[in-house]
């Protein structure tokens, strides 16, 4: 048994905590009663339960980091050089939009004529393959055209392209990427992730891999909660999974002006983005999932998309009322009062990324949206909505401390929330999102012995200094992992 003593925590009444193996077994016990226990003096540092990141594309992003980085390429010659230097046959991150000549298969054939070579553009919406790779990609007849013959894959042809890339990875590539990223997550104090993985375009291999990781609870690895991002309900039920969805896209993003808006973009007067699902298709998918007791989750950013989802959840839950269904909305960045009220009425769980406000709130969002207020946390909390925090890794890196800082220092002063409220987003509230409130999310007897020790008490350090707090140590299932 181990006993933590001499610490600060969110709950001031907490004086000692004891844990054995993987569970918390005592609170405020007298260490003198347990002469054989290992006493750990935390010297007034801040002790918290492990953080939860409720929105990551964990494995996908980890694998992406193993591609050859093509960010610095300025022309086709650079692509050839960077790819030749690397041992990997997949490159990612070139931006050829302003180049004199866009790359095609001839460029990649110069890298290798025998090995398949793939490169993916920075926006992740198109890619190039060499002749050997083209042979591997089974493009449906109706999608074959002069572009694909030239090795250029866009739109629906890019889906076949992505599938082949995903299938290039072996089990050991996935293991390696997972463990590399797990270490980083621990170093940020995260012990549980919601992993939104795979996709009808990307393939099912990542999902199969993460099913194994999710089952693997009795060790000191990251606690994985899987959301398969597919619409194949039968596949999910056959495997006895309890959730479906993730970033199943109802619309796009503000950055590319594809988030679906009720009023046009401020810097694109004709544009309102578009909805990717018809009401009918979405309704039938949610209705079927709900009746099968699956928790669903969808990406909705613009106020037209958040309205579409709130309306359909409302219809389904009015037709089939349920006290404890916790369907999710991901992002929910722009929403009308009516939408928020409907979400609240139906107990819809809101998975938010306050860090987006830190990066884009004051500049890009203002340009695109004028004075429309994004991420109205204060209004959401007033309506009783449960807000859980995440990073959308690798849109941003996993970093709950920066997430807490961003929510507390929201660019719109009326939507700044308290430190305690922001802390709850990455602990208690996030545990509720996945029905795990009895296992994680706070320090209580019987819960996982997952802890993080911070250099400073976020409640006392001052709002502007929260982001400088350091993670000193992380415990997962009672074991020191960072």
Residues lying near Zn ion in the complex (CB under 5 A) are found at 247, 299, 392
Q: How many CB atoms lie within 10 A of CB 433?
A: 25
Burial of 93-128, coded b for 16+ CB within 10 Å and e otherwise, reads bbebeeeeeebbbebbbbbbeeebbbbbbeeeebbb
| Shortest reach from residue 139's CB to Zn ion, in Å | 27
Q: Whose Cβ is closer to Zn ion: residue 194's or residue 299's? A: 299
Contact 398, 190 (CB under 8 A): yes
| Shortest reach from residue 298's CB to Zn ion, in Å | 9
Q: Whose Cβ is closer to Zn ion: residue 221's or residue 328's? A: 328
Q: How many CB atoms lie within 10 A of CB 29?
A: 16
| Shortest reach from residue 330's CB to Zn ion, in Å | 5
| Shortest reach from residue 392's CB to Zn ion, in Å | 4
What do you get for the CA distance between the two ends of the chain, in Å? 19
| Shortest reach from residue 246's CB to Zn ion, in Å | 7
Q: Whose Cβ is closer to Zn ion: residue 333's or residue 392's? A: 392
Nearest CA to 373 among 425, 328, 412? 412
Pairwise CA distance, residues 324 & 397, whole Å: 32
Nearest CA to 260 among 273, 247, 276, 278? 273
Q: The tokens 């009808």 sit on which residue? A: 200
Q: Whose Cβ is closer to Zn ion: residue 93's or residue 245's? A: 245
| Shortest reach from residue 204's CB to Zn ion, in Å | 18
Contact 390, 290 (CB under 8 A): no
Q: Whose Cβ is closer to Zn ion: residue 206's or residue 392's? A: 392
Q: Whose Cβ is closer to Zn ion: residue 158's or residue 393's? A: 393
The interaxial angle of helices 279-291 and 303-319, nearest 10 deg, is 40
Q: Whose Cβ is closer to Zn ion: residue 213's or residue 299's? A: 299
- Cβ partners under 8 Å of residue 159, min gap 6: 200, 201
| Shortest reach from residue 196's CB to Zn ion, in Å | 6
Pairwise CA distance, residues 363 & 365, whole Å: 6
């Amino acid at each position: 048994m181990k006993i933590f003593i001499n610490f600060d925590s969110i709950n001031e009444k907490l004086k000692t905590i004891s844990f054995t193996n993987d569970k918390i077994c005592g609170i405020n016990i007298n260490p003198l009663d347990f002469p054989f226990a290992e006493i750990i003096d935390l010297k007034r540092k801040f002790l918290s339960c492990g953080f939860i990141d409720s929105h990551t594309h964990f494995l996908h992003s980890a694998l992406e980091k193993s591609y050859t980085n093509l960010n610095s390429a300025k022309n086709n010659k650079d692509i050839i050089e960077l790819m030749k230097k690397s041992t990997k046959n997949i490159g990612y991150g070139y931006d050829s939009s302003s180049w004199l000549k866009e790359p095609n298969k001839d460029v990649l054939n110069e890298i290798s004529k025998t090995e398949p070579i793939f490169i993916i553009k920075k926006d992740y919406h198109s890619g190039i393959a060499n002749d050997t790779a083209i042979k591997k990609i089974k493009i449906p007849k109706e999608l074959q055209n002069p572009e694909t013959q030239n090795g250029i894959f866009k739109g629906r042809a890019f889906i076949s392209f992505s599938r082949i890339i995903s299938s290039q990875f072996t089990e050991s590539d996935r293991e390696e990427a997972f463990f590399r990223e797990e270490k980083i997550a621990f170093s940020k104090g995260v012990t549980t992730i919601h992993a939104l993985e795979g996709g009808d375009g990307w393939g099912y291999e990542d999902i199969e891999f993460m099913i194994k990781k999710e089952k693997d609870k009795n060790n000191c690895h990251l606690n994985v909660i899987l959301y398969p991002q597919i619409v194949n309900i039968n596949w999910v039920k056959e495997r006895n999974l309890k959730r479906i969805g993730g970033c199943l896209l109802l619309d796009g993003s503000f950055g590319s002006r594809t988030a679906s808006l009720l009023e046009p973009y401020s810097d694109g007067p004709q544009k309102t983005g578009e909805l990717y699902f018809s009401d009918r298709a979405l309704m039938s998918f949610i209705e079927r999932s709900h009746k099968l007791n699956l928790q669903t989750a969808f990406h909705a950013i613009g106020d037209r998309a958040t309205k579409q989802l709130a309306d359909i959840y409302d219809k389904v839950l009015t037709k089939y009322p349920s006290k404890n269904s916790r369907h999710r909305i991901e992002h929910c960045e722009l929403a009308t009062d009516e939408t928020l009220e409907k979400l609240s009425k139906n107990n819809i769980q809101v998975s938010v990324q306050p860090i987006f406000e830190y990066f884009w709130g004051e500049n890009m969002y203002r340009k695109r949206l004028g004075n429309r207020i994004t991420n109205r946390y204060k209004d959401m909390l007033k309506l009783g909505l449960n807000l859980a925090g995440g990073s959308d890794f690798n849109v941003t890196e996993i970093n709950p401390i920066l997430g807490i800082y961003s929510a507390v220092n929201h660019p719109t002063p009326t939507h700044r929330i308290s430190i305690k409220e922001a802390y709850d987003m990455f602990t208690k509230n996030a545990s509720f999102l996945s029905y795990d409130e009895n296992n994680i999310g706070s320090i209580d007897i019987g819960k996982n012995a997952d802890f993080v020790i911070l250099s400073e008490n976020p409640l006392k350090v001052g709002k502007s200094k929260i982001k400088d707090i350091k993670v000193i140590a992380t415990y997962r299932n009672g074991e020191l992992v960072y």
